[in-house]
Structure 1
Amino acid sequence: MQEMLPGFLAALSLSASLLLVPTLLTQVGAPFMGIYTASMLMAIAGTLAFGRLGLPVAAAPGAALTSWLVAVIMLAHGVSWQMVLFMGAVVSLVMTATLAFAVFLQRPGRLAGFAQLFPPCIADGLQGAVGLMLLVQGLYQGHLLMGSPTGPVQLGNMADPVAYISLVGIIAMLSLMAVGARWAVLGGVLTSAVLAFAGGFWVLPDAPFFLPEGLDRTGLQLIFMNGWENVKVCDYADLSLVLALFFILSGWGGLKALAPHLDDGQMGRSLLSLSGLSFIACLLGTMPLTAAPESAAGQATGGRTGRMAYWTAAFLALLLFMEPTLQSMASFPSIFAPAFAGAGLVLLLCMKPVFSGGLADKVAAGLLFLILPLTQDVAAGLGAACIAYVSLTLLSGGHVSRFLRALAVAFLLYFFYGFWSIL
């Protein structure tokens, strides 16, 4: 039962992303209820798979990937959501076959070093960078940070009820952390929830439950894609490259940050589970899965084993029937702010020193800490850090492995075709 509270907090934090994915896809004509049901079902399946591997980590469709695909690929270039699902399924299937070969058909020694793909400045800094990303996300959710006309961000308006209730919740959480309370994050969430409910800002819907539906409108819809004849063959290759790099790096990066002590075998099996379930997710009509950073909310309250993942999956199964309630909570996001802020703070406190090396190490770590909070994109942060590390190390006469050089070239292609080219 020790893992039940961490599982509840992880599921509660994850619910915000599970609402965001179908909301984004409705902009391109996808049915909300079908995407929501498929996303919840695949999050439950992925989280159970991680639990079986003994990891206190949840899985969910990637919100950052969905946002980029909707804005750049679907809206800007007119690619249908069914076609994107088809490409996601193909890439996931190829990755599943590749990882299965690496995990099951090679000798164990051949996988040695799989979890040490990146230099220490990146591998060790990833945990803190993801923590800072979650902390910034919590401050944005709570309207304590907001866009500014004169700079990247500005402080929120304390006349906004969301802002001051979020601030009270975060202060309560920090106070409980200071006295060593294990349930500090939950205390902050409950403080914000009680204040929001008492002030009339959060109102429970008249019908808080619903029966899951809509899979008949999303399942296997990739078969009925249209507009494929208008897309060039080279553009298919571009999108496949971007998707493949995003899948593998978001999966690896999330697992490295949330479970830094994974051995080579566990990392390989975890990525294999993610890619296989991502293929099924595309068939059901939702985006591919990745390790959910929101899992850190559960780890902040003591989640350390796979039992936390089992409890998270159990609570997600309950939330599957509570979409109206989740929509009501999302309308006043101060409830989520302490959970994200607490999760990020815990990851930052667990971070190893990463700014003690040479120029290449410091610049790479700095880019990681800059890009992740600004973009909420693990793959983009890893890519920029890797390119900077390889370039500066080679210019200074240092040694870089062939694999890392090839990875830097792949990242350059990822940025060019994923962000700067006209796909």
Structure 2
Amino acid sequence: MSLNEKFKFSERNTTLGTEIIAGITTFVTMSYIVIVNPSVLNKAGMDFNGVFIATILAAVIGTLIMGLVANYPIAIAPGLGMNAYFAFVIVLGMGIPWQSALGSVFIASVVFLLLSLTSFREALIDAIPTSLKAGISAGIGLFIAFIGMQNAHLVAPSPATIITLGNFSEPVAYMTLLGLFITIVLLVNEVPAAIFLGMVITAVVSFLMGFIPLPSAVFSMPTGLENTFMQMDLADAFSPNLFAIIFTFFLVTLFDTTGTMIGVASQAGLMKNGKFPNVRSALMADAVASTCGSLLGTSPTSAYVESGSGVAAGGRTGFTSVVVAVLFCFMLFLAPIAQVLAAVPAVTSPALIVVGFLMMGSLNQIDWHNVEESLPAFFVLFWMPLSYSITNGVGAGLISYPLIKIFRGKFRQVHPLLYIFMVLFIIQFIMMNH
């Protein structure tokens, strides 16, 4: 079978050359994750090199399945937001070992994998109102932007006001501001790979100013995976205090992945009568990648909205994804450079802040004039960053939405699954306080 027949180049009005360019474009725009993800999970005590390799392998597995089986120009990799939740909330905030957190990721991924084979997935997506889905996405955006600002010392703890403006005379703060400014200039001028190029330029300037040392080498053989591979603790992950965490991993991954896939497929003109063809294979790609990622040693994967840059460059088939996966393989040998860059918050923090901003775009899906819909979304948006927990934000929304509908006499408008979620989160919050 030729490439044209396998990937349907003619049917989708594309060519091999166009698909290669699209794949390169998508890869460059999302390649920041191989630096940012190990940097975030390293703060949770995980080995940098192990997470670096796990990040790349999970991306390669998911993106290859997306390309070869689902035939979509959508790339998969560990998602920003879920890695921050993993490191800062579960491990550092709750004091849960990263091995147990990995076990939670594995369980949630297996559930996601099994449900991707059934119609229950569609029922679950339909059960959650659009306003809450949008609030969850935007809330995660605020959360990771807040973490980026903390890492860069742009905000700092205050005994009087809990948090206040940071000291901009610190090198990490003013170099982050410089990196943020550079990234924003590139972004508003619609420069491809603005986030990645912003990191590179900031790194070069930081090196010239003496803030970044030269790496010990440019290339090296991949090492360190043994420090994270199969290190998950499944026994502890089944403990009652982790049920809400497993549920949050599953829920957020489901909505984030589905929403991104639909958005990119629509941009590429691949939706048919409002339906997503071959959706099970597409969801399977992410579910398998998350499952393998937890075994390898990384947080959940997600479909990347940066795939839209490849679609804008003409990508219409899964060959775009195949090119992305191949390019990720080459990154396996660049660990020394990634480790030096990841050690400098001024290089990675602007990426967190800008991606957080981009995730806020979902707020336009909320009808702010309808209090019944917008108030629960506001609670999600409000509680995530301020309680430093995605779980708390999701729980606040899934409790308040059914309650508001009940007291408005519209309880029949609420899907029965939402009442189950409401009860489960109420139990979870009660248990947290005891």
TM, length-normalised to structure 2: 0.74
2:301 is aligned, of 290, 296, 299, to: 290
CA spacing shift, 1:384–1:153, aligned 2, 3 Å: same
3-state SS of 2:153 partner: coil
Shift of 1:257: 5.1
Shift of 1:80: 8.7
Q: How many residues align?
A: 394
3-state SS of 1:174 partner: helix
After superposition, give the CA deviation of every residue in 1:225-269 in whole Å (9 maximum; x if it has no partner): 79x6xx7xxx93525633541332121232255345375666654
| Counterpart code for 2:37 | S
3-state SS of 2:44 partner: helix
2:54 is aligned, of 38, 60, 63, to: 38
Query: What CA distance in whole angstroms lies between the structure 1 residues aligned with 2:172 and 2:377?
Result: 33
Q: Report 1:7-406 matches (<5 A).
A: 7-26=27-46, 33-51=49-67, 53=70, 54=72, 56-60=74-78, 62-63=82-83, 64-71=85-92, 75=95, 81=99, 89=106, 92-100=109-117, 102=118, 114-179=124-189, 181-182=191-192, 184-186=194-196, 188-216=198-226, 218-220=228-230, 236=238, 238=240, 241-256=243-258, 258-259=260-261, 261=263, 263=275, 268-284=280-296, 286-287=297-298, 289-291=300-302, 295-296=304-305, 299=308, 310=322, 312-349=324-361, 351-374=363-386, 378-399=390-411, 400-406=414-420
Query: What CA distance in whole angstroms lies between the structure 1 residues aligned with 2:334 and 2:308?
Result: 24
Shift of 1:346: 3.5
Query: What CA distance in whole angstroms lies between the structure 2 residues aligned with 1:315 and 1:415?
Result: 44
3-state SS of 1:210 partner: coil
Query: What CA distance in whole angstroms lies between the structure 2 residues aligned with 1:278 and 1:396?
Result: 40
CA spacing shift, 1:159–1:23, aligned 2, 3 Å: closer
Shift of 1:390: 1.2
Moved more, 47-56 or 388-397: 47-56
| Counterpart code for 1:48 | L
* Contact kept? 2:105, 2:291, Cα under 8 Å: yes
Query: What CA distance in whole angstroms lies between the structure 1 residues aligned with 2:191 and 2:78?
Result: 29
CA spacing shift, 1:376–1:16, aligned 2, 3 Å: farther
| Counterpart code for 2:346 | S
Query: What CA distance in whole angstroms lies between the structure 2 residues aligned with 1:217 and 1:131?
Result: 30
1:409 alignment counterpart: 423
Identity %: 21
Query: What CA distance in whole angstroms lies between the structure 1 residues aligned with 2:388 and 2:279?
Result: 22
| Counterpart code for 2:61 | A
| Counterpart code for 1:38 | A
- What is the aligned-residue RMSD (CA, Å)? 3.9
CA spacing shift, 1:21–1:189, aligned 2, 3 Å: closer
* Contact kept? 1:13, 1:336, Cα under 8 Å: no
Query: What CA distance in whole angstroms lies between the structure 1 residues aligned with 2:306 and 2:142?
Result: 13
| Counterpart code for 2:159 | P
Shift of 1:18: 2.5
| Counterpart code for 1:207 | A
Segments of 5+ residues of structure 2 without an aligned counterpart are 1-20, 266-274
3-state SS of 1:352 partner: helix
1:107 alignment counterpart: none
3-state SS of 1:212 partner: coil
* Contact kept? 1:89, 1:282, Cα under 8 Å: yes
| Counterpart code for 1:397 | G
| Counterpart code for 2:256 | G
TM, length-normalised to structure 1: 0.75
| Counterpart code for 1:96 | L
3-state SS of 2:364 partner: coil
Moved more, 297-306 or 349-358: 297-306
Segments of 5+ residues of structure 1 without an aligned counterpart are 104-109
* Contact kept? 1:127, 1:256, Cα under 8 Å: no
After superposition, give the CA deviation of every residue in 1:298-353 in whole Å (9 maximum; x if it has no partner): 65797686666555544443333233322211222222334333333344346424
| Counterpart code for 1:65 | F
